[in-house]
Structure 1
Amino acid sequence: MLAGLAAPVLAQQRPAAADTAKLRQSLTEVTVTGAATHFAAPVEGTTITAGRRNELIKPRDVDANLPQNNMRQVLARVPGLMVWENDGSGQQINIATRGLSPNRSWEFNVRQNGYDISADAFGYPEAYYAPPLEAVERIQLLRGGAGLQFGPQFGGLLNYELKRGARDKQVQVETSNTAGSNGLLNSYNAVGGTVGQVNYYAYYHHRQGNGWRPSNQFSVDNLHGGVQVALTERLTLGAEISYLTNRLQQPGGLTDAQFDADSRQSTRTRNWLSTPWLLPALTLDYRANEGATRLTLKTFGLVAERNSVGFVAGLPAPDTISRRTQQYAARQVDRDAYRNLGAELRLTHDFSLLGRTHTLASGLRAYRASTHRQQRGIGSTGTDFDLGLTAPGRYTNEFDFTTTNGAAFAEVLLRAGTRLSLTPGLRYDYLRNTSQGYLGRAANGTENRLPDQARRRHVLLYGLAAEYQVSAGTNLYANYSRAFRPVLFGDLVPPATADVIDPNLRDARGYTAEIGYRGNYQNWLRFDVGYFFLNYEDRIGLIRRPVPGGTAGQTQQFRTNLGRTRTHGLEAYAELDLIHSITGNFALPHLDWFAALSLLDARYQNQPVTELRGSGTAAQIVETNLRNKYVENAPRQTLRTGLTFAHKGLSVTAQYSHVGEAFADANNTEAPTANAQTGRIPAYQVADLSATWKMGREQRYRLSGGLNNVFDARYFTRRAGGYPGPGILPADGRTWFAGLGLML
């Protein structure tokens, strides 16, 4: 398993730009098949990765529950990964690192094949769509200074690179079918190949199940088709389209008492979510000067929706049939419609200066996104998925949002000698957000229209990365990069949840810096150890405060700027081939130990706030301060470790995860509230066991299976203020899966 590493090799003098193609080819060939995780070369396509912490993960080479997109297993080698585990359907992926919010991965710039897939990259960056991991060739994580090339997000880049058709076959068929606990059925079927100058790949994926909790059924369908036509030796035209349709039943949140009594119970039987997602894209790829110059143009769009219907009253309110009417209460209907169009032009060019060959990466971006949001419609009293409205047949809130973004960036990889490289960079973003609509209605039914809003921003970001080659297989890296997070349009108006929004929200700004040492030693040790510092100004988050003008003891969750947070910590990853490190005989079986450790300190700085202390007539509003309070959803320790035994076609992995305690709000509320939306999130430990057996000629047959949460630990990773709660959202207990795959 530790047969090699795509670590950056020594930067070397090249007499001519024509040698660039040869160097890039050699860098690519250093990557050894069979290694599930490795580091990127200094230049990957049109992206400079030198001097940044980066991971490239191949899901197919990981023993994991791919049918349910189990990120706890697939990304186990990423230090500090925080996963919100509350969706057994595998459809909603909620991940983050470095103390950032995992909410639908919105602190990352989430992409598929290099283009945006979230609802609105700058207005509503929630990624409701994620491709099935059986279709993903590799996952690219680029942190640190990634914002200069892919956008201003603090989290960096998360890019799903989909498979393409076989280069050496006209037709290749792949099928994988899996069954599991709670009625899980998963089927992935693909066909691809190369005919003449045309490479093609298409798949259909279906996943369904009843979920670990009652009222948790799901049905997910994915379709994708892609084709690349080599018009000339240098010019390739590509087109692809992805479509998702799903229907997810949400069992609601639990109070702490309910969770302690039975974490598997459900409080909601009539809550549903559906997010149909259509992603078309056209690409143009041009290579010149024997690969020394590469130009790519990606034009992409989005036609999508977010539809929910349910009983959304906070806990402990029950959703029961009324004795008076003999029926359920009317449900709430909320709908979003997204229409986006964008284009990105990227260029990498190798040039000679002072006897060295350097690389310029630059790009332009144009993007426009529009959202039509309808909230708090009065829906049916039924139990099925029904988005129809009852009297008065209209929505209480309705808004139109638009985002216009133009951007330009440039980075230069400067090779100073044979070992040292420096990469300075700049990025400029123009942002314009508009909103118009109404919030509620007067007694006579007229709309309470809000003033039309338009915000313009001119944002200049800059950064510097450095890399020093210590040996042929190891290097030191360091970087500094500015980051920016605009106020989202969802923050400007009250959402369809229990949260209350501060009307005076400000954009968040800051920077990240990191230093680390990584590499490969004699093909049996791979490691990456680093320290990072993240400064986040005007961070937007939640505090619990007294309701203004409310009764004594009444509180609310308030979304506002919480001042500055400073996060720093150690991130360490190592993977050791135990047998080969002792014997040096790579013909023997593999026994690989891996560990990914994060020690994190994320705290608020000076920020005066008020809070309610006491209850009843003794309740008092007192002034306090968030200074030294821990950032919410930021566990101080995260450790994922495991052993993999591999010999010939058999691979077995046992994995253990420990995640330290965290808090659900910036006040670091210890005692849970009655509605369970704030309070401590206890530490938890969970173990997984997975196996894969590849058989037959060219390993065309594949058996896989495993147990997730082997010891049936009962834990939760999230307290939700609204969808898909509100309240505690339990993680799944013990489940199993088993599948058979075939490739012809």
Structure 2
Amino acid sequence: MSISRHALLPLAVALALVSAAAPAQQAASSATKSSTELAPVDVHAESWRETLKAKLEHMLPEVDGTRITVTKKTTVTHLADQPTVIGNNLDQLLARSPGVQVSQQPTPTQFNLGYRGLGNPQESEYVLVMQDGIPLQSDWIGFPTLYAMPLTQGLSGVELIRGGSSLLYGPEPAPVINLVSRRPALGAPLAVSSEQVVGNHGLYSSYNAVEGSRGRWTYRADAAYVGSDGSRPNAGSQMRQADLYVGYRPDDRQLWWLDLHVIDAASGDAGRLGYPQWQVNPRATPTPYNRDWVSRDQLVLGHRHEFADGWLFEGKLWFAYQDLASRSASGALAPQPPPSSTTVQDEQFRTGGADLRLRRKWGQGNAFTVGTTLFHGDDPFRQWTSSNLYADHYDRSGTPRLRQSRRSDYAAVFAENVFRLPHRFHIVPSVRLEHERVAVDESVRPPFLSRPLIHEADARTVPLFGLGIGNDFGHGNETYFNVSQGWRPLRYFDMASPFANIVPGHAPDPSKSLSYELGVHGVPVTGLYYDVSVFWIDFRNRIEAQHINATDVIEVNSGDTRSRGFEGQLNYDLLARSARAEHGEHLEAFISASLLNARFTASAIPGQVGKTPAYAPRHLLKAGVTWRVEQRLKLSLTAVSSAAQYWQDSDQSRGSGDSYLPARIPAYTVLDLAGDWQLNRHLTLLAGVSNLADRRYYDRVWQTGLEPALGRSWYAGVRLAL
């Protein structure tokens, strides 16, 4: 950040007085003259450091370690400043993340996030979700789906990065959602905590952690369990999590660390309903036999080293294993007979990667970064048909139905530089060169198909460029402009569908985005932060499923879309200027608005141009108020309000009779209330109510039906700290 001229004023006055004092003293010693006393001048100025600190409550530093984020639109949520989030309630977790759309599927085995109408939120395929800068997707390139999420009690914050996020981290057009793990500080004393929570629908949540430091070592470990009966029959779920962090500092300039993350989740799949079925009985369960299992283990080795002359190195090496299994049979509601068979599916993801970054600060506030990212995935895919409707996910006694070996490889090199220019301007050029290769080899195909076995491989090299321009003005304000390219990787299913009778002659071209963002943010007065911008995104070569006949589907480049609109947020601490703030009391109101106009601008599908893409509501509003007293209380009321939205790109309804699905998901507004009350240094009470008004709604629809969202639900519990 540039130093404000107001911040320099006291220093200039002081230097002028010192310069004037010396000759005055000499004159006084050589002659006796009467002195004239001048009226005092009172100069006021706020430190630029205080302004910077206030901005960092809501956004990332301009140069954050090895990352350059200046001119990129960023939003930071500090979870320590809001009540505890129980059971991965994503609406609460992302309440302060403007524009991020949560499409609810109330099970812990699938997470659906979308942004600015760029794609269907199904499994968050168009959003890059990371933990500590490492992708959480099943396979980042070939199968970028989100089936595992860490519990929020183990996180310190959420970083939302858009406008240049692809140049910073790689594939997916925008944004990056980076979940930051909690870390003990060097010198922190031993701390042990245990959190026990119960709620309706049979909810039980237990989170237990120990952390501290010893000499140059720091450590943190947690173990957690969340179980629920769900709001419908066969909607019960269990999730277990364990984490281990060990850090070692050989000296003040180095840090070595090791991270181990283990997640194991299982859930019943109650199935999807037609709109008439949902109206009659939202608790109906058409698939009482279906079940999903997810396990994910990840090991990370990291190193950070500060060298002389402003050099900083940060490297991460990671390995992950994820097993995604399911048991699925056809849906049937009484008096229809039960299905005669089920499909047991198992997808394994053995992935690993490296991320190496080097940064050098030079000149007056300039910084240069360069780095590389490497990734490899080995992801076998298998299915069996079984007559046992309750077959276990390890049961291999059924008839083989599908067997594929799948591999992905990815490599990227990138560089960015922030140049500080006169008149408090700065410019950030960025470049990234990426290469991917995906391959599928099939040995068993579904018995109802007659096509040849799939043996497909494809490779793509994609250059990306970006440019950011900014200017600091006034008191703690900055105007920013960013234009950047992004893209979506070619997936396994894009090359050839395992369940279609047609193998395309060549894979579709990768989807690419070109985004523009112009905005301004700052802290003009104490306690007030704002960030408002307008955006325009051209998303080309969208890959969509095209029906060849009643049964066959292929993936093709169906067309282009344009998303444009306004996104803004406002945070104001009503007590920031009062004496109560000095004693740690805050009353913060916040609101964000995403106003979106999205349209198809080109399409291979007749009549598609001019239609609105799926999951592109005209507005998405988030608001809330949080009362916080340090070491005493955190109480928050939040709201999420979405306009109506189409659930498929055709903007058409689907089905008839009981399976009828309207073209639009109706508008909805949901309120959540949560609070932490710390009675003393050892005991904290936790309580909350989600969907406070018991709104009956849904915001998730797929081809086979809609998924009812949770009604009013509550929790209460305690946290013990030693």
Aligned partner of 2:459 in structure 1 is: 456
Aligned partner of 1:218 in structure 2 is: 237
SS class of match (1:628) = coil
- 1:67/1:133 contact within 8 Å kept: yes
Counterpart-to-counterpart distance in 1, 2:717 and 2:503: 46
Deviations 1:523-560 (A, max 9, x none): 221111111111100112357x6x62x5xxxx988754
Counterpart-to-counterpart distance in 2, 1:332 and 1:50: 50
Q: Does 1:741 align with 2:719?
A: yes
SS class of match (1:260) = helix
CA RMSD of aligned residues (A): 2.8
Aligned partner of 2:217 in structure 1 is: 198
User: AA paired with 1:705?
Assistant: A
SS class of match (2:86) = helix
User: AA paired with 2:77?
Assistant: I
CA apart distance, 1:258:
0.7
CA apart distance, 1:163:
0.9
Aligned partner of 2:33 in structure 1 is: none
Segment of structure 1 superposing worse, 650-659 or 189-198: 650-659
Q: Does 1:693 align with 2:696?
A: no
- The 1:319/1:480 distance shift into structure 2, 3 A limit, reads farther
Aligned partner of 1:382 in structure 2 is: 389
Choose which of 664, 668, 674 in structure 2 pairs with 1:684: 668
- 1:308/1:387 contact within 8 Å kept: no
Counterpart-to-counterpart distance in 2, 1:579 and 1:171: 33
Aligned partner of 1:158 in structure 2 is: 177
Aligned partner of 1:709 in structure 2 is: 691
- 2:323/2:348 contact within 8 Å kept: yes
Counterpart-to-counterpart distance in 2, 1:125 and 1:664: 21
Aligned partner of 2:146 in structure 1 is: 127
Deviations 1:338-392 (A, max 9, x none): 111111111111122xxx34101111122111110113x212433364442445x
Q: Does 1:409 align with 2:392?
A: no
Deviations 1:618-659 (A, max 9, x none): xxxxxx411110010111111112222334522322222210
- 1:285/1:297 contact within 8 Å kept: yes
Detail structure 1 runs of 4+ shifted over 6 Å in the superposition.
26-29, 498-503, 555-558
Choose which of 64, 74, 95 in structure 2 pairs with 1:44: 64
Deviations 1:254-295 (A, max 9, x none): 0111111122222111111111101011111111127x2110
- 1:296/1:345 contact within 8 Å kept: yes
Q: Counterparts in 2 of 1:137-536, with a 5 A limit?
A: 137-289=156-308, 292-312=310-330, 317-318=332-333, 322=337, 328-352=339-363, 356-375=364-383, 377-383=384-390, 385-391=392-398, 393-394=399-400, 396-417=401-422, 419-438=424-443, 440=445, 449-494=452-497, 505-536=508-539
Counterpart-to-counterpart distance in 2, 1:332 and 1:501: 23
CA apart distance, 1:514:
0.3
- The 1:202/1:499 distance shift into structure 2, 3 A limit, reads farther
- 1:142/1:157 contact within 8 Å kept: yes
SS class of match (1:521) = coil
Aligned partner of 2:28 in structure 1 is: none
Counterpart-to-counterpart distance in 2, 1:502 and 1:682: 37
User: AA paired with 1:562?
Assistant: S
CA apart distance, 1:427:
0.1
Segment of structure 1 superposing worse, 260-269 or 666-675: 666-675
Larger RCO: 1 or 2 (CA < 8 Å, sep 6+): 1
SS class of match (2:141) = coil
Counterpart-to-counterpart distance in 1, 2:336 and 2:649: 37
CA apart distance, 1:505:
3.1
- The 1:250/1:98 distance shift into structure 2, 3 A limit, reads same
- 1:439/1:449 contact within 8 Å kept: no
Q: Does 1:630 align with 2:612?
A: yes
Aligned partner of 2:588 in structure 1 is: 592
Q: Give structure 1 stretches of 5+ with no counterpart.
A: 1-7, 13-25, 610-623
Counterpart-to-counterpart distance in 2, 1:459 and 1:280: 29
Counterpart-to-counterpart distance in 2, 1:281 and 1:664: 38
Choose which of 92, 117, 122 in structure 2 pairs with 1:99: 117
CA apart distance, 1:297:
1.3
Q: Does 1:665 align with 2:684?
A: no
- 2:51/2:523 contact within 8 Å kept: no
Question: If the length of structure 2 is used for normalisation, what is the TM-score?
Answer: 0.88
SS class of match (2:340) = coil
- 2:81/2:628 contact within 8 Å kept: no
- The 1:710/1:170 distance shift into structure 2, 3 A limit, reads closer
- 1:60/1:134 contact within 8 Å kept: no
Counterpart-to-counterpart distance in 2, 1:110 and 1:501: 31
- 2:228/2:236 contact within 8 Å kept: yes
CA apart distance, 1:106:
2.4
Counterpart-to-counterpart distance in 1, 2:373 and 2:527: 42
Question: If the length of structure 1 is used for normalisation, what is the TM-score?
Answer: 0.85
- 1:166/1:192 contact within 8 Å kept: no
Counterpart-to-counterpart distance in 1, 2:158 and 2:503: 35
Q: Identity of paired residues, percent?
A: 24
- The 1:152/1:78 distance shift into structure 2, 3 A limit, reads same
User: AA paired with 1:374?
Assistant: R
Segment of structure 1 superposing worse, 470-479 or 400-409: 470-479
Q: Counterparts in 2 of 1:517-556, with a 5 A limit?
A: 517-541=520-544, 548=549, 550=550
SS class of match (2:445) = strand
Aligned partner of 1:639 in structure 2 is: 621
Deviations 1:397-456 (A, max 9, x none): 22111111111000001111362111101000111111111463669x9x9643422212
Q: Give structure 2 stretches of 5+ with no counterpart.
A: 6-47
SS class of match (1:68) = coil
Q: Does 1:575 align with 2:571?
A: yes
Counterpart-to-counterpart distance in 2, 1:37 and 1:718: 33
